[in-house]
């Protein structure tokens, strides 16, 4: 026979699928078994992709990656107690980055809370302001109409997470009494979908009116993380310079400016700015932060999260923008274009000396061969590493930047290219990078779509999320490459203030944190292919060869 827990779980998940959820991430547990078994049935019916992770932190970041790529929330199922707390890092990142996610946390019923019951803590409100919708559901008891109540609850959570102008985290805390599971209801086994969409549509607010940006003020567009093509469109329509962080996915098109950090320090350009339009979440540059703090500027920030950007105390929030008709300031854009052309960094390898290689003069031919061999055998540095990854990545691929030293190198040297980019810059933590990338890969490669997900990651960020290398044998292995710059520790701190005040021993002990992990053995333990590249040619071969499954490409780097 069935149970109230099973009936409620089936109604809730059936409704979420009817609303558009296509991915469910499950971490095993007893109190959540009704939810997990209903998800397994949905997978059998072909209605969802199911992702099973033994670690709730990895489960949360896997869902984060799926939400980043699809802009549709994945549902995360976990049991009670510390399992719920382990979802907090991913929930915080989703909140600060505006990524949709629905958390379904099983719980003890009210009579077992606060009395010392096993695996019981106060879960309602545990995510605080990180959840834009949170509900401590009623404990199901099987009364008439209960399934409809859970369907409507699912609709409220879905709309709050994904269908409003700001996306984010919805948390449904779901207390269950024993029996914790039973037979699935017949209507659910038959694969029927609940009629919840019409109700959800009544909950969606009307789209906001755009803020009209008048012509006249000398304007720049700043593109931070998750800005995507929106920033490039605003810059193109306004004929304004585009200052795009590498993590924005907006660094392309004829308005993108190379070397804009130095330009902002130049009075002839940065000193003449009158208005800034911000798209996404800028986090990489002190020059951008200083710009957005200026009280003499009109700063307009497109709303992307529940935490508005306002560094100068007078920034205007806008849900959308429109450009007023009128003539563009061509001289303003030309000045920035001239700067951009003069400050482009060329890291492409020199073309072979074709005349020398074809020469009949043995000395000339030998010199050309030696020069070419020296070029391909050049040891990799950070600049050549990021350039090689950028060169090998195309629009059908995905590129994920970890919060490590390499992302700052990439931002300094890479020129424009339209590549889908992801990075967890909501809070700019190093946790969950691998799990996030696996979620991105799973979503972007669904249905046999081509492409490789590449992750430019430091060794500490890799080790911080090493548990996410564990992939279930029953799931399709993603085409993913973790391109690891291994310099033996956290060299990002060498360039921060701490390096000028800390002694060498203390710096190594608590900041650099050296390690001696054999990454090849780590890869083997989790069943990932390991490739070691030390030269440009070895890196190019690793990045351009067919990728059939998960790989770690390790590049040793000097501190």
Percent pLDDT > 90 in the chain is 82
Express each pLDDT in 229-278 by its tens digit.
999 999 999 999 999 999 999 999 999 999 999 999 999 999 999 999 99
Predicted confidence at residue 298, as pLDDT, reads: 96
Express each pLDDT in 133-144 by its tens digit.
999 999 999 999
Select from 53, 83, 85 the least CA-distant residue to 74: 53
Predicted confidence at residue 347, as pLDDT, reads: 75
C-alpha distances out from residue 508 to 147, 505, 514, Å: 58, 5, 7
Q: For the domain with range 382-556, which CATH number is right: 3.60.20.10, 3.40.50.970, 2.60.200.30, 3.40.50.300?
A: 3.40.50.970
- Report the C-alpha gap between 380 and 184 in whole angstroms: 57
Angle, alpha carbons 424-18-148 (nearest 5°): 115
Predicted confidence at residue 413, as pLDDT, reads: 94
Express each pLDDT in 407-426 by its tens digit.
999 999 999 999 999 999 99
Predicted confidence at residue 195, as pLDDT, reads: 79
Express each pLDDT in 443-472 by its tens digit.
999 999 999 999 999 999 999 999 999 999
Predicted confidence at residue 367, as pLDDT, reads: 72
Predicted confidence at residue 118, as pLDDT, reads: 86
Read off the pTM.
0.94
Confidence of residue 356 (pLDDT cuts 50, 70, 90): low
Look at residue 354 and tell me whether its pLDDT is greater than 70.
yes
Which residue, chain included where needed, has tokens 């499950």?
26
What does the block give as tokens for 392?
């090998």
Predicted confidence at residue 120, as pLDDT, reads: 85
Select from 384, 413, 157, 111 the least CA-distant residue to 260: 413
Residue 103 β-bridge partners:
76, 171
Predicted confidence at residue 190, as pLDDT, reads: 77
**Residues in the chain, overall count:** 559
DSSP string, 255-307: TB-TTHHHHHH-TTTGGG--EEEEESB--S-HHHHHHHH-TTSEEEEE--SSS
Predicted confidence at residue 7, as pLDDT, reads: 96
Based on DSSP, count helices (H) and strands (E) in the chain, helices before strands.
Answer: 22, 19
Lowest pLDDT segment from 378-392, 477-491, 505-519: 505-519
What H or E segment, with its residue span, contains residue 219?
A: strand 219-223
**Whether the Cβ atoms of residue 319 and residue 165 lie closer than 8 Å to each other:** yes
Q: Which residues contact 425 (CB under 8 A, 6 or more apart)?
A: 97, 224, 225, 226, 247, 281, 283, 284, 403
Predicted confidence at residue 379, as pLDDT, reads: 83
Express each pLDDT in 33-53 by its tens digit.
999 999 999 999 999 999 999
Please give the average per-residue pLDDT across 372-395, as a whole number.
87
Look at residue 374 and tell me whether its pLDDT is greater than 70.
no
**Whether the Cβ atoms of residue 116 and residue 301 lie closer than 8 Å to each other:** no
CATH topology of domain 4-201: Rossmann fold (3.40.50)
Domain boundaries, the chain: 4-201, 211-342, 382-556
Which one of 281-285, 371-375, 436-440 scores highest in mean pLDDT? 436-440
Percent pLDDT > 70 in the chain is 97
**467 CB burial (10 A radius; 0-12, 13-18, 19+):** middle
Look at residue 378 and tell me whether its pLDDT is greater than 80.
no
Mean pLDDT of the chain: 93
Lowest pLDDT segment from 117-126, 419-428, 521-530: 117-126
Domain 211-342 class in CATH? alpha beta
């Amino acid at each position: 026979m069935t149970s109230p827990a099973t009936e409620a779980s089936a109604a809730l998940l059936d409704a979420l699928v009817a609303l558009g959820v296509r991915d469910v991430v499950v971490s095993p547990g007893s109190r959540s078994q009704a939810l997990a078994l209903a998800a397994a049935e949905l997978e059998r019916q072909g209605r969802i992709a199911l992702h099973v992770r033994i670690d709730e932190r990895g489960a949360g970041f896997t869902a984060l990656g799926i939400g980043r790529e699809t802009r549709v929330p994945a549902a995360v199922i976990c049991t009670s107690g510390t399992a719920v707390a382990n979802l907090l890092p991913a929930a915080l990142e989703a909140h600060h980055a505006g990524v949709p996610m629905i958390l379904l946390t099983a719980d003890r019923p009210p009579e077992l809370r606060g009395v010392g019951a096993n695996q019981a803590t106060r879960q309602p409100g545990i995510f605080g302001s990180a959840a834009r919708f949170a509900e401590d559901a009623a404990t199901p008891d099987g009364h008439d109409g209960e399934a409809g109540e859970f369907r409507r609850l699912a609709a409220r959570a879905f709309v709050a997470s994904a269908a409003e102008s700001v996306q984010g985290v919805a948390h449904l805390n779901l207390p269950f009494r024993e029996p914790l599971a039973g037979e699935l209801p017949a209507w659910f086994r038959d694969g029927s979908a609940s009629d919840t969409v019409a109700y959800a549509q009544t909950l969606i607010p009307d789209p906001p009116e755009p803020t009209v940006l008048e012509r006249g003020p000398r304007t720049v567009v700043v593109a931070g993380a998750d800005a995507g093509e929106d920033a490039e469109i605003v810059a193109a329509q306004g004929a304004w310079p585009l200052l795009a962080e590498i993590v924005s996915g907006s660094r392309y098109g004829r308005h993108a400016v190379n070397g804009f950090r130095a330009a902002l320090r130049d009075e002839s350009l940065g000193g003449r700015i009158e208005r800034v339009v911000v798209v996404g979440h800028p986090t990489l540059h002190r020059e951008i932060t200083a710009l957005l703090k200026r009280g003499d500027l009109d700063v307009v920030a497109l709303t992307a999260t529940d935490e508005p950007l306002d560094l100068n105390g007078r920034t205007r929030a806008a849900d959308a923008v429109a450009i007023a008709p009128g003539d563009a300031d061509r001289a303003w854009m030309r000045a920035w274009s001239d700067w951009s052309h003069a400050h482009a960094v060329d890291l492409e390898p020199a073309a072979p000396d074709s005349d020398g290689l074809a020469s009949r003069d043995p000395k000339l031919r030998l010199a050309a061969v030696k020069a070419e061999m020296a070029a391909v055998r050049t040891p990799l540095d950070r600049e050549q590493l990021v350039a090689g990854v950028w060169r090998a990545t195309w629009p059908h691929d995905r590129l994920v930047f970890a919060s490590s030293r390499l992302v700052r190198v990439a931002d300094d040297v890479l020129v424009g290219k339209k590549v889908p980019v992801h990075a967890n810059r909501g809070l700019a933590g190093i946790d969950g990078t691998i799990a996030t990338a696996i979620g991105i890969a799973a979503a972007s490669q669904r249905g046999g779509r081509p492409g490789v997900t590449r992750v430019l990651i430091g060794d500490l960020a890799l080790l911080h999320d090493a548990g996410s290398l564990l992939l279930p044998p029953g799931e399709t292995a993603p085409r993913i490459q973790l391109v690891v710059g291994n310099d033996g520790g956290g060299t990002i701190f060498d360039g921060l203030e701490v390096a000028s005040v800390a002694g060498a021993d203390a710096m190594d002990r608590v900041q650099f944190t050296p390690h001696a992990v054999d990454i090849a053995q780590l890869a083997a333990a989790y069943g990932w292919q390991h490739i070691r590249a030390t030269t440009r040619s070895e890196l190019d071969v690793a990045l351009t060869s067919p990728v059939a499954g998960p790989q770690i490409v390790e590049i040793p780097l000097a501190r």
